[in-house]
Amino acid sequence: MALLTQTQQDYYDGDNFGGYQFVSLDDIITNFTIAYVGENKIIPKIKRTDIAFHAQRAIQELSFDTFKSIKSQEFDVPPTLVFPLPHDYVNYTKICWTDSSGIEHPLYPIRHTSNPPSFKQDENGSYKLTAVGTLSDSTNIVTLDKEYKNILVGMQVDGTNFDNNNPFPNIPLGTVVGSVVHSGGVTTIGLVDYLQTGFPSTINANNIVDGTAIIPAFTGDETLTFRMFPEPFPSNGGNTAVNEDLVVEIGDAFVLSGVTYSENEDKITAASVSDAAQVSIGMYVSHTHATPGTKVIAVDGAVITVDSIMLKDSTSSNFGSTNQITFVAIPGDSKAWSNFKTHDTNTNSVVDEYDYNDDIYELNIGGRYGLEPTMAQVNGHYYIDELRGLIHFSSNISGNNVILKYISDGLGTDQEMIVHKFAEEAMYKSIAFAILSTSSYGQNLVPRFKKEKFAAIRTAKLRLSNLKLDELAQSFRGKSKIIKH
Q: What is the pLDDT of residue 266?
A: 87
Residue predicted with more confidence, 212 or 226 = 226
| pLDDT 10s digits, 231-265 | 444 434 444 334 445 566 666 677 888 888 887 88
**Confidence check: pLDDT of 361 > 60:** no
Of 358-362, 386-390, 479-483, which range is least confident? 358-362
The answer to whether 154 and 293 have CB atoms below 8 angstroms apart is yes
In terms of Cβ atoms closer than 10 Å to its own Cβ (0-12, 13-18, 19+), residue 18 is exposed
Domain final residue, candidates 202, 227, 252: 227
How many structural domains does the chain have?
2
Containing structural domain, residue 175: 129-227
Q: What is the pLDDT of residue 17?
A: 80
Coil, strand or helix at 360: helix
Banded pLDDT at 29 (limits 50, 70, 90):
very high
Task: Assess if residue 439 is contained within a domain.
Answer: yes
Banded pLDDT at 130 (limits 50, 70, 90):
confident
Handedness of CA 110, 116, 118, 123 (dihedral sign): negative
Mean pLDDT of the chain: 77
Of 301-305, 347-351, 434-438, 462-466, which range is least confident? 347-351
Mean local confidence (pLDDT), 86-91 = 85
The answer to whether 364 and 358 have CB atoms below 8 angstroms apart is yes
Domain final residue, candidates 210, 227, 244: 227
**Distance, CA of 364 to CA of 367 (rounded, Å):** 5
**Distance, CA of 205 to CA of 140 (rounded, Å):** 18
Q: What is the pLDDT of residue 32?
A: 92
Task: Assess if residue 192 is contained within a domain.
Answer: yes
Q: In 3D, which of 113, 78, 32, 101 has the Cα closest to residue 343?
A: 113
Q: Which pTM value belongs to this model?
A: 0.60
Residue predicted with more confidence, 162 or 418 = 418
Q: What is the pLDDT of residue 369?
A: 63
Q: In 3D, which of 355, 359, 378, 361 has the Cα closest to residue 369?
A: 359
The answer to whether 94 and 88 have CB atoms below 8 angstroms apart is no
Task: Assess if residue 208 is contained within a domain.
Answer: yes
Mean local confidence (pLDDT), 282-290 = 82
Task: Assess if residue 153 is contained within a domain.
Answer: yes
Based on the fold, state whether residues 62 and 136 are members of the same structural domain: no
What is the per-residue DSSP string for 380-400? -EEEEETTTTEEEE-GGGTT-
Compute the CA torsion angle 351, 352, 354, 358 (nearest 10 deg). 20
Mean local confidence (pLDDT), 158-162 = 76
Task: Assess if residue 234 is contained within a domain.
Answer: no
The answer to whether 400 and 97 have CB atoms below 8 angstroms apart is yes
Q: What is the pLDDT of residue 467?
A: 78
Task: Assess if residue 189 is contained within a domain.
Answer: yes
Domain final residue, candidates 176, 210, 227: 227
Banded pLDDT at 317 (limits 50, 70, 90):
very low
Task: Assess if residue 138 is contained within a domain.
Answer: yes
**Confidence check: pLDDT of 199 > 70:** no
The answer to whether 131 and 222 have CB atoms below 8 angstroms apart is no
Task: Assess if residue 110 is contained within a domain.
Answer: no
